[in-house]
């Protein structure tokens, strides 16, 4: 645990008692603060009370009196579409509002660091798509190189649940826009921006607010190095804002598909090859085509971002290449679940929006596509240019019929459930085809989260393949 500093003997209100909220309460207590906990959910309050924390109804008049700071969990809106009533009251009283990320950055460094040979460093990764894979890949590369490393944030543990830093350790954080928009301290040593596509727009008041939340990691944080994906206009804008000119190697530009030669430092992937260029010449190249844990152009972009971040930490190209080859990928993100009779079954349940689904569809040929769930604004009409490899779609969930209307003449079947979709796709798939779950929708109509949806897909695949094996026997 990282004890929170600066609030010993003072009252700190904590709103939201999920994973990060409870971790925050423990860290505040360890730092000597008096934590006042509240969640609108009775179940969440009961869980906190079972752990020994008293809860205080922060909605009551006067409940925030004497509070030094209000710490808010990431799922609770602080501005758009409207701030939570407790946050609005804190604004009205002039009480600072922060989150666990802000507390982490102000509390992580300690006097113990004075005795370290190598100062611990923090790498923070944000963006719309690929940030989980990029974060996990950086952690994997560092671990394979024998570097002490911890991973937290929007993946794995809450940031305040981390262990105190060791000599030379690297902490890799995945940070969502919900986390970066509110943190009052953001000081990573290396910051990574993967890409930007529309998502969470109601939470941020539109695309500009969404980008502004991501940009805070760089504008507020002032990292020593910035790794910036420049395949979208926002990334090019951000790279330009941070650099003193094209030769400024404090900014490492990253692309999947575009050759970047005229910059002080760039890493890009083209035709399946990663290339690193510095000061006008190529210094390294890696063949990514046969790395099973990183299929498709979107994962090649993730590999470029992770490669660039690890190069800033002193790792060499060859040790990074070896670690890339041993990376197994993350569950629910282009995860190879099974292969039978020349048919591959791939779980990309994390493809919850059109952009991430498009990347998954571009990663494979001859696809039996399982899609659907709780569709987002605009549905899947924007996927039309990316359906050329789809042999047939199997549509599930709340938006199945809406999606069917948006895919035109593409062969499809409304299956409603995952069980039927997997069974029908497996029955009709031929050697060389991929049965791909890339829903392009949220999961909340049938599952509590995308992980459970992916787990159901995996279970149904194994069920069907087990039955096929039994029938063959």
Mark the binding-site residues, compressed into ranges.
Answer: 127-133
16 φψ region: left (φ > 0), alpha (ψ -120 to 50), beta (else): left
What's the Cα-to-Cα distance from 344 to each of 205, 246, 249, 290, rounded to whole Å?
40, 43, 42, 15
Half-sphere exposure of 150 (CA within 13 A, CB side): 22
Q: Is the peptide bond before 291 cis (omega within 30 degrees of 0)?
A: no
d(CA 462, CA 72): 41
- In the sheet that holds 367-372, the strands lie side by side as 335-340, 343-347, 434-437, 367-372, 390-396, 412-416
Residue 100 φ/ψ, nearest 5 degrees:
-65, -25
- For residues 256 and 231, the answer to whether their CB atoms sit within 8 Å is yes
Q: For residue 394, what are its two tokens?
A: 């199997």
Annotated binding site for ATP: 127-133
- Nearest Cα neighbor of 420 from 443, 399, 395, 403 is 395
Kind and range of the H or E run holding 307: helix 296-312
Helix axes 317-325, 296-312, angle to 10 degrees: 140
Q: For residue 425, what are its two tokens?
A: 């796709």
- For residues 361 and 380, the answer to whether their CB atoms sit within 8 Å is no
Residue 232 φ/ψ, nearest 5 degrees:
-120, 160
134 alpha carbon, distance to own chain's centre: 8
Q: For residue 30, what are its two tokens?
A: 């360890």
Residue 360 makes CB contacts below 8 A (sequence gap 6+) with 296, 298, 334, 346, 348, 351, 436, 438
């Amino acid at each position: 645990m990282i004890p929170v500093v600066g609030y010993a003997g003072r009252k700190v209100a904590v709103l939201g008692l999920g994973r990060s909220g409870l971790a925050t309460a423990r860290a505040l207590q360890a730092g000597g603060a008096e934590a006042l906990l509240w969640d609108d959910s009775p179940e969440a309050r009961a869980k906190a009370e079972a752990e020994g924390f008293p809860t205080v109804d922060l909605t009551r008049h006067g409940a925030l009196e004497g509070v030094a700071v209000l710490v808010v969990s990431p799922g609770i809106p602080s501005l758009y579409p409207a701030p939570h009533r407790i946050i609005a009251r804190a604004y009205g009283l002039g009480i600072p509002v922060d989150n666990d990320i802000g507390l982490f950055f102000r509390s992580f460094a300690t006097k113990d660091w004075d005795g370290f040979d190598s100062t611990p460093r923090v790498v923070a990764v944000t963006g719309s798509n690929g940030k989980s894979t990029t974060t996990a890949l950086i952690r994997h590369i560092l671990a394979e190189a024998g570097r002490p490393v911890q991973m937290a944030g929007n993946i794995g543990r809450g940031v305040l649940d981390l262990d105190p830093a060791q000599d030379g350790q690297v902490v890799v954080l995945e940070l969502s826009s919900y986390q970066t928009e509110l943190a009052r301290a953001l000081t990573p040593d290396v910051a990574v921006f993967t890409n930007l596509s529309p998502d969470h727009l109601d939470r941020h008041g539109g695309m500009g607010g969404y980008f502004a939340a991501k940009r805070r990691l760089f504008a507020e944080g002032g990292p020593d190095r910035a790794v910036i994906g420049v395949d979208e206009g926002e990334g090019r804008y951000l790279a330009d804002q941070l650099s003193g000119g094209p030769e400024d190697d404090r900014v490492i530009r990253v692309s999947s598909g575009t050759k970047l030669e005229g910059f002080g430092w760039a890493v890009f992937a083209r035709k399946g090859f990663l290339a690193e260029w510095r000061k006008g010449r190529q210094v390294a190249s890696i063949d990514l085509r046969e790395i099973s844990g990183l299929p498709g152009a979107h994962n090649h972009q993730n590999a470029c971002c992770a490669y660039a971040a690890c190069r800033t930490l002193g790792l060499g190209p060859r040790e990074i290449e070896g670690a890339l080859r041993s990376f197994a990928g993350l569950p629910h993100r282009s995860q190879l679940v099974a292969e039978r009779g020349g048919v591959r079954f791939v779980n990309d349940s994390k493809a919850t929006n059109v952009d991430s689904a498009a990347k998954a569809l571009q990663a494979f040929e001859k696809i039996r596509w399982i899609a659907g769930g709780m569709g987002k604004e605009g549905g899947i009409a924007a996927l039309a240019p990316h359906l050329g490899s789809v042999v047939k779609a199997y549509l599930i969930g709340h938006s199945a019929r809406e999606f069917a209307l948006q895919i035109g003449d593409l062969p499809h079947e409304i299956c409603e459930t995952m069980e039927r979709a997997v069974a029908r796709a497996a029955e009709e798939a031929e050697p060389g085809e991929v049965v791909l779950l890339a829903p392009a929708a949220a999961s909340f109509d049938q599952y509590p989260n995308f992980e459970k949806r992916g787990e159901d897909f995996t279970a149904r695949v194994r069920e069907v393949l087990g039955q096929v094996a039994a029938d063959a026997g």
